[in-house]
Structure 1
Amino acid sequence: MILKKANVLIVDDDPDVLTAVKLLLKKEVHEIITEKNPENLHVLLQRNAVDLIFLDMNYNSAINTGNEGIYWLRKIKEWKPTACVVMITAYGDIDIAVRSLKEGANDFIVKPWHNEKLIDTIKDLLDKREGVKSTSVALKGKAGTTFILGESDVMLDIFHKVKKIAPTDANILLLGENGTGKDLMAKAIHEQSLRAKFPFIKVDVGALTDTLFESELFGHKKGAFTDAREDRQGRFEEAQGGTLFLDEIGNISLQQQAKLLTVLQNRQVTRLGTNKAVDIDIRLICATNLPIHELANETRFRKDLIYRINTVEITMPPLRKRKEDIAVLAQHFANLYADKYMKPAVEFDSAALQKLMAYAYPGNVRELQYAIERAVIMADEPIIKAEDLLFSILESQPVSIDQDNVPLSAMEKNAILRVIDKHSGNITKAAKELGLTRTALYRRLSKYDI
């Protein structure tokens, strides 16, 4: 939408804010509607065609819950589900503002704001509402050492969300299948944060025994246990001032969860072998390949810990759900490995691109990366052809029926993936070979999220 055609509603009980925004946007938008009392929101939305709503987080109203903005946001979404809402907040309320994103807000701005930033926010949201696609295809860390490529809508949405939450101290839970780039995303968030100059410490907590868990995360004193020959800082202390990334958080035991929760609540760690507590100041990012509803099972994971680590949740999509990114990722990896192995620049012929697009990628971006590395190494010409592309047998090999512990559903899913790949994505041919109707095959594709 052209900015000049937009109708903007600002709801704030501070008349100075209303005046400032009205003066700023007077020549930028079609109409500005200002309102001090959120109680009048319903009538205003009924009487006016509003394209964008700026909503303050706090009012001197009867609700007086401390997060009134959330209340009125929910009301707006109830009255007008498609409404585009930007929350206005003070720096001290950033945690609530971040929560508003989970409640359906499109963005938030912090008072005092930069005028150019406010106008850019309006332009970006209105363009997005009208389907104008961003030209940005990478989320980059400030240090320039980490970036994530993507031009699909789902990735552009994630990039936008990350740019809003990275500068805050909100704890983040990264969800997604193996190989989707959760560790890379965690590093990119750190590099975009205000803690970028401090350490980024990663720990694969799912691989730690109970004893190693405490020693690795909290540290120990000399003599605390066998082989503790010297004092050692834990990962929490190593990450002081920076970011601690706990990977595979869904695999830790209930006992480990209780110890972790205590540290996060108290913001202190106590090394094994001592009673002295050490204050910690870290930003926490966690990741797991388990779906959030599985984590919510109290027999497996404590809900109070989920709430503590999940201020903001980001789900990294599987590659099969971001097909638009395959070509750009493939070319990026081709350039990377051509340079690494001192080969001339390489490109893909049309048949190779078709093969890349047709594959299901059970190993996600990681599998694509390794496939391109092999292709670059083996290619005799600067053009990668379809026959140069071989996908991992670890991902595509048949599941043996002799494996007693493999569920039937996994065998069926694997068989479907192999046959679809064999027929280059042709559903009719794949269904025929599997002995299914097209409708039955589509039902199974939906069932297994293929």
Structure 2
Amino acid sequence: MLLKNAKILAVDDDQDVLVAVKMLLRPEVKEIVTEKNPEKLLSLLAQNQFDLILLDMNYKSSLNTGNEGIFWLRKIREVNKNVAVIMITAYGDIDLAVRSVKEGANDFVLKPWRNEKLLVTLEDILEKVNDGKPKSTKSKSQNAEGLQLLGESEAMQDVLYKIDKIAPTDANILILGENGTGKSEVAKLIHQKSQRNQNPFVHADLGSLTESLFESELFGHKKGAFTDAREDRAGRFEAANNGTLFLDEIGNISLPQQAKLLTILQNREVIRLGTNTPIPIDIRLISATNAPIKEMALQNQYRKDLIYRLNTIEITLPPLRMRADDVLVLANYFMKTYAEKYRKTLFGIDEKAKDKLRKYAFPGNIRELQHSIERAVIMSDNQEISARDLDLNSSIEAPVATVSETGTLRIDELEKSTILKAIERHDGNITKAARELGLTRTALYRRLGKYDI
């Protein structure tokens, strides 16, 4: 094993983290060196030949960059392009950690980590570096893992990469996005990739629960607790014990319901209606909404303390109109699926139909595209789907890229203009602008650099 012969440097200004790393790695590696002050990094590199560096993302230093980890990563790469670097980060800095991989880090780990998982990660990275394999910044997720997650666009690759990193943790996750963007598919994929994947995945659609059914459905009830309670029944929390509970449409619940949900999450136990007996629960919570719950919280329509419980990590799914590269990928997938279902011989989508798909804004997102292609397959009399087969509402087509005097499409100008308008609408707030555009902050920052904004 390469790990046994490795010399590793850990840099973190938290002494407890350094002690934990040293205790874990001392029996596993050839040598472990720890350092609290990142400013000693370069001198340590000059005096030693390390195989791998564990580098914290944030320090209480005078750099005042807001992302010291990126700063020191660049310094390391200036003097040593080959040493493996793994960033150490907290849940709240996922986007920054993803950016560090783009900047040259080999991977990142989340605090607090599982010791076994960290050791496997270290061994894996050392093997890749030793084999001379180029690191990849794209997710290992395969397209077949969820039809809603098919896509080659940068926005979807960022989402898939984040899923790969956070799924093995037990962190609560809040998935944001418009209707039809695939929030439930993301929740299922996270469960499949988690350490709870052999246990239940329980889906609760809160948008369909009336005020009277809310407690009974989620927390369970005892026989006779109310008129229709004819038998004891476990709620969704109990059903999901040791597994994953997916609360869809979390933005639709009332303030009293929010208070009840918060109590359960804080106490990690439920009390069935009609009893006083608390039942311990062990769940991984994933929530989803298309509602702007952070803005609702500012208007006292949503509890801030509940939001903190829900979104240890946040994933924002981009709308289909911001995933132009993925429209035809998805359309072809649906075409093959429904051609098989309806026993039709279809070999593709003709050029006029492709052009029509590219220009359409898809306000219903992937769900609308899916239904449109299903209808087109049914209506088609040829071996290709034609524009006539596509019943799209032309009144909501996407803006068409203009053509310059030289005859070239000015798509870059269109994208730059859209980004500028979004940033202006949100008074320079990058997080809100990114959410509106259906991008992660990391992806938006890359575009800001691309267009020199």
How far did 1:71 drift? 3.4
Q: Distance in 2 between matches of 1:264 and 1:134?
A: 31
Amino acid across the alignment from 1:71: Y
The equivalent of 1:251 in structure 2 is: 252
Task: Give the 3-state SS of the residue equivalent to 1:343 in structure 2.
Answer: coil
CA shift, 1:53, in A, is: 8.0
Counterpart of 2:387 in structure 1 is 386
Distance 1:102 1:114, change over 3 A: closer
Structure 1 alignment gaps of length 5 or more: 1-7, 24-33, 58-68, 89-95, 398-416, 430-437
TM alignment of 1:43-442, pairs within 5 A? 44=42, 54-55=53-54, 70-71=58-59, 76-77=68-69, 79=71, 86-87=86-87, 97-104=90-97, 106=101, 107-109=107-109, 110-113=117-120, 117-119=124-126, 127-128=135-136, 138=143, 140=145, 148-291=149-292, 293-297=294-298, 299-391=300-392, 393=393, 417-418=396-397, 420=398, 425-427=400-402
Residue number in structure 1 paired with 2:4: none
Deviations 1:122-142 (A, max 9, x none): 69996457xxx679652627x
Deviation at 1:385, TM superposition (A): 1.2
Percentage of matched positions with identical amino acids: 48
Cα distance in 2, alignment partners of residues 36 and 344 from structure 1: 64
CA distance in 1, matches of 2:361, 2:342: 28
Q: CA deviation at 1:189?
A: 1.0
Contact 1:320 1:360 (8 Å CA) reproduced: yes
SS of 2:226's equivalent? coil
Higher relative contact order (CA 8 A, sep 6+): 2
Q: 1:225 to 1:156 in 2, by over 3 A?
A: same
Residue 41 of structure 1 is matched in structure 2 by: 39
Q: Write the letter of the residue equivalent to 2:125.
A: L
Contact (CA 8 Å) 2:249, 2:289: kept in 1 or not? yes
CA deviation map 1:58-114 (0-9, x unaligned)? xxxxxxxxxxx64379652474697896335xxxxxxx7444425536443443225
1:55 partner amino acid: L
After TM superposition, give the deviation of residue 329 of structure 1 in Å.
Answer: 0.7
Which residue does the alignment assign to 1:65? none
Letter in 1 for 2:224: G
From the superposition, tell whether residues 270 and 17 of structure 1 become closer, same or farther in structure 2 (CA, over 3 Å): closer
CA distance change for structure 1 residues 16 and 224 in 2, over 3 Å: closer, same or farther? closer
TM-score, normalised by the number of residues in structure 2: 0.70
Q: Bigger CA drift: 77-86 or 99-108?
A: 77-86
Q: What amino acid maps onto 2:34 in structure 1?
A: K
8 Å contact 1:200–1:243 — kept in the other structure? yes
Is the 1:38–1:72 Cα contact (8 Å) retained in structure 2? no
CA displacement at 1:19 relative to structure 2: 11
Equivalent residues of 1:139, 1:147 under 8 A apart: no
1:147, 1:357 → 2: CA distance?
A: 18
Matched length: 372
Farther off after superposition, 348-357 or 271-280: 348-357
Q: Is the 8 A contact 1:136 1:151 kept in 2?
A: no
Which secondary structure does the structure 2 equivalent of 1:111 belong to?
A: helix
Deviation at 1:362, TM superposition (A): 1.1
Q: CA deviation at 1:203?
A: 1.1
User: 1:16, 1:235 → 2: CA distance?
Assistant: 38
Taking the aligned partners of 2:224 and 2:373, their CA distance within structure 1 comes to 49
Structure 2 residue matching 1:223: 3-state secondary structure:
coil
Report the Cα offset of residue 275 of structure 1: 0.5
Instruction: Measure the CA separation in 2 of the matches of 1:176 and 1:288.
Output: 7
Note if contact 2:180-2:365 (Cα within 8 Å) is conserved in structure 1: yes
Could you say if the C-alpha distance between residues 318 and 242 of structure 1 is closer, same or farther in structure 2, counting changes exceeding 3 Å? same
* Deviation (angstroms), 1:181: 0.3
What secondary structure does 2:180 align onto? coil
Kept in 2, the 8 Å contact 1:181–1:365? The answer is yes
SS in 2 for 1:71: coil
Instruction: State the Cα deviation string for residues 355-396 of structure 1 (Å, max 9, x = none).
Output: 1111111111111111110110100012111221112x5xx6
Q: CA shift at 1:306, angstroms?
A: 0.8
Cα distance, 1:344–1:221 mapped onto 2, change above 3 Å: same
How far apart, CA to CA, are the structure 2 residues paired with 1:45 and 1:128? 29
Deviates more, 1:38-47 or 1:224-233: 38-47
Once residues 108 and 36 of structure 1 are traced to their aligned partners in structure 2, the CA distance between those partners, rounded to angstroms, is 18
CA shift at 1:253, angstroms? 0.9
In the other structure, the counterpart of 2:10 is 11
Q: CA separation in 2, counterparts of 1:10 and 1:372?
A: 54
Aligned to 1:11, what secondary structure does the other structure show? strand
